[in-house]
Amino acid sequence: MTDNIENKDVVETPVVSDMTAGEMLRNARTTGRRKREIQTISKQLCIREEFLEALENGDYKLIPEPVYILGFARNYAIELGLDPDEIIAKIKKEMATGADCATANDASDTSACAMPSIKEESWYKLMFVKSYQFLYQNWIWFVGAVVAIILIILGFVFFAAEDVTESSDVPVAEVIQVAENSDVYDGEPAYKQTVRERFGTDNREKARVILQATQESWVKVEDGRGKTVFSRVLVPGDVYYVPLGTKYKATFGNAGGVDVWVDGTLIPDVGANHTRVAGISLSPDNLLKLDKK
């Protein structure tokens, strides 16, 4: 009687330790309260569906290299709540080949059948797989970071180019001086000659010094570095607007044939007719001093 009762209490259940690694994975995925689809897990782990199916079917040849098999299996086991070391050990044993494995008596001794460890089996390939999965899951952040870096670089280049363009025309000290000077002349003087042609019109709105030829004369203007900014034979009526600044100098081939206007005021001739005069400072303050002598 007692034997019969004891026999009724015995229920046959599958022995997990006798399952293959694939059977354990499939059983964990398809039984219990949390049944899951391979498609869902594939998206979460960033592992192709056919590779997960190959793991469950024990068809490991469908996965390119052993290190990928072990890496995928470990992640799959963790996701399903299984012991990843047990799954890895089973897969190594299933994949092992050779006479030593075939004659192994102790089922718990897998050292003769074991595949090389992950570190010995091209660990860098496993790192590549993990890196790919990480990038796949966080790609939007990487794209955003790259776009932000590009925008920062473009903004820096734009503003740097703008600063260089502005500072290349007039020294910074001169710009500050002009900004503080409320007497900057912005009108046209009462020329003696009817204007024939205008030169240096980019400087017209801010020029304090204006040259007009009353006779044919060669005129050359240089900046503070000795670079020629204007050189031309002016005929009567031609006007040249001198760039704003204090370091410009002029050479007149016919000094008496050029009128020099400063803030609308005509200053005395800087030389006689048909006389070449060089090194004439075109600083407004210096020219106005000549007018007072």
> Topology of 198-292 in CATH?
Immunoglobulin-like (2.60.40)
For the chain, residues classed under CATH 2.60.40 are 198-292
pLDDT tens for 162-199 read 655 554 454 444 444 444 444 445 578 999 899 999 99
**116 confidence band (pLDDT: 50, 70, 90):** very low
Higher model confidence: residue 227 or residue 18?
227
- The predicted model gives 103-122 an average pLDDT of 44
Q: Supply the pLDDT for residue 291.
A: 65
0.85 exceeded by pTM: no
pLDDT tens for 232-281 read 999 999 999 999 888 899 999 898 999 999 998 998 988 899 899 998 99
Q: Supply the pLDDT for residue 164.
A: 52
Q: How far apart are CA 42 and CA 261, in angstroms?
A: 83
Percent of residues, the chain, with pLDDT higher than 70: 71
For the chain, residues classed under CATH 1.10.260.40 are 2-137
Task: Kindly tell me if the per-residue pLDDT of 139 is higher than 90.
Answer: no
**What stretches of the chain adopt beta strand conformation (E)?**
198-199, 209-213, 217-222, 228-234, 239-241, 249-252, 258-262, 265-266, 277-281
Q: Supply the pLDDT for residue 66.
A: 74
**Per CATH, is 2-137 categorized as 1.10.260.40?**
yes
Cβ neighbourhood burial of 174 (10 Å; 0-12, 13-18, 19+):
middle
- The predicted model gives 62-71 an average pLDDT of 82
Task: Kindly tell me if the per-residue pLDDT of 97 is higher than 50.
Answer: no
